[in-house]
Amino acid sequence: MSTKPEAPEKGKDFIRQIIDRDMESGAYHGRVHTRFPPEPNGYLHIGHAKSICLNFGLARDYHGKCNLRFDDTNPVKEDVEYVDSIREDVRWLGFDWDNNFYASDYFERLYFIAELFIKMGKAYVDHQSAEQIRENRGTLKEPGTESPYRDRTVEENLTLFRAMRAGEFADGECILRGKIDMAAPNVMLRDPALYRIKHATHHRTGDAWCIYPMYDFTHGLSDAIEGVTHSICTLEFENNRPLYDWCVDTLMAGLKQPELFGENADVYNELAGLPGFTDRPRQYEFARLNITGTVLSKRKLIQLVKEGHVLGWDDPRMPTISGFRRRGFTPESIRDFCDRIGVAKADSMVEYALLEACLREDLNKRAPRYMGIMDPVKLVIENYPEDQEDIFEIALNPEDESYGTRKVPFSRELWIERNDFMEEPPKKFFRLGPDREVRLRGAYYVTCTGYEKDANGKVTLIRATFDPASKGGWLEGGRKVKGTLHWVSARHALDAVVRNYGSLFTTDNPNAVEEGKTFIDYVDAHSLETLPGCKVEPAMAEVQAGANFQFERTGYYCADLRDHKPGEALIFNRTTTLRDTWAKIQKKSS
């Protein structure tokens, strides 16, 4: 493996600077080994995407390795569904792991490590209740109170811990705690829990265990077992780092006392030969992603799903990776976003608009164009023969000729957008109105000759004539028109349902709520607009589920991944809007 890193194109963040120094000093013998360690108790969100891009990106840039490890230490909250979704999300983002591990792979080893800690006098079984432990932990200004069970003998603790494993105690009856310092300034070091009893079925190990290691005990030891060199965490784990170090360092000290392993010499030989215990991992923290207009707390996301405020984890309004995928975001746009926001040590708030800007930039290059009418009104071209039909070749993507063209049929009766017509258009309205001429995209010039309304004053039909000489939507050397409208042949149109998604919340910061309210009070009941009567050109029938495209003059969309059924109306999800010049003009004039 080469020890010469590839410098990232846009400069080096503080983590890469740390790795550079390690490479120069010969630390880890030139190895760079990272891991992405999600807990399989929910779906990944955009904040996890930042961590994925960082951890896998470091392995890529330094010719190293990156593991996907599921820290599955809590059977009550974990599920195979989450495991499968996490794998899918990582691969969709464009990454693959060198190894796929589980913390549960190490349950037997972790148990023997816990016994080693007991033999070293570094752990004890505590029969205090959870409430008593919490009350005795102390405060930031006052030390904690030592447990009355803290000075049990090694033999007594081993007997009790083995009884815990054998299922002789009920949930919550006792726990294994690290024996560190009840007066430590860092509360995390005040005799933290290492093992707890949970009579629950694990998604991988079934009912083989009724005691499970705590996350903080498991995490650093798993890193060391796997030979991880740089353990990259988000900033909220900064206070956990001393406990991470204590667990790893205590084990390393125990490995210098092979006699403590007794009949478990095979466990000693296995652990002592792992690279993580000669080149111990180090934890580094970076700022987690905070983005306007949403929440990135897994607890809050679970609440949104369970209480029915959204239609599942992959609801396109959710900030989950599966939600972004179903909404039509591309992995390239999310990777670009993560690259642009960078890696810093201080928390900050990132505008959702930046994520949309990355998306538009990507889709503008890749998305084919089609015509779809969201709010259709019929346009009848009176001088166009009823039995005539034109087929126009229109570019699929004007940004890239390699996309080619699609065939778009044209007939006497068309669908156009209702808001493309005004009975009394203002000066800067360049669309259709009485006696006004516009260009139909790629087809002909048409001039409005009249319109019809119903009893409520709603326009139901627009009449026009066309200029045969303008075929293809252009007059060589002739008159020019400012307005260009998209359209769909009524004879050939396909029915479609369009879902326009907005922000799930009515505020830019749903994490900061008024007194007496919760973030749920800011859920926008109108964040999903469903348009059931849309008309789209026939080429849309060939669009594959999940494919990105642009409805011209309307926005970027994708074909829904899940809900469409054969024989029913097509379903399209709006990914993001286009910049609306007319809306800006209206806003300025109001």
Query: Among all residues, which ones are annotated catalytic?
Result: 39, 288, 298
Distance between CA 562 and CA 497 in Å, rounded? 13
Residue 62, judged by CB atoms within 10 A of its CB (0-12, 13-18, 19+), counts as buried
Which of 6, 118, 140 is CA-nearest to residue 64? 6
Distance between CA 324 and CA 497 in Å, rounded? 19
Count other Cβ atoms within 10 Å, centred on residue 221.
Answer: 26
Classified as helix, coil or strand, 353 is helix
Distance between CA 73 and CA 298 in Å, rounded? 17
Residue 207, judged by CB atoms within 10 A of its CB (0-12, 13-18, 19+), counts as exposed
Which of 66, 6, 3 is CA-nearest to residue 29? 3
> Pairing mode, if any, of strands 437-440 and 484-485?
parallel
DSSP helix, strand, coil percent of the chain (3-state; round to 5)? 35, 25, 45
Residue 388, judged by CB atoms within 10 A of its CB (0-12, 13-18, 19+), counts as exposed
Classified as helix, coil or strand, 419 is helix
Q: Encoding tokens for residue 407?
A: 């065939």
Which of 522, 521, 520, 528 is CA-nearest to residue 508? 522
Instruction: Give me the sign of the Cα torsion angle 297, 300, 302, 305.
Output: negative
| Residues found in the chain | 590
Put the strands of the sheet holding 484-485 in their side by side order: 484-485, 437-440, 445-453, 459-467, 376-381, 413-417, 488-489
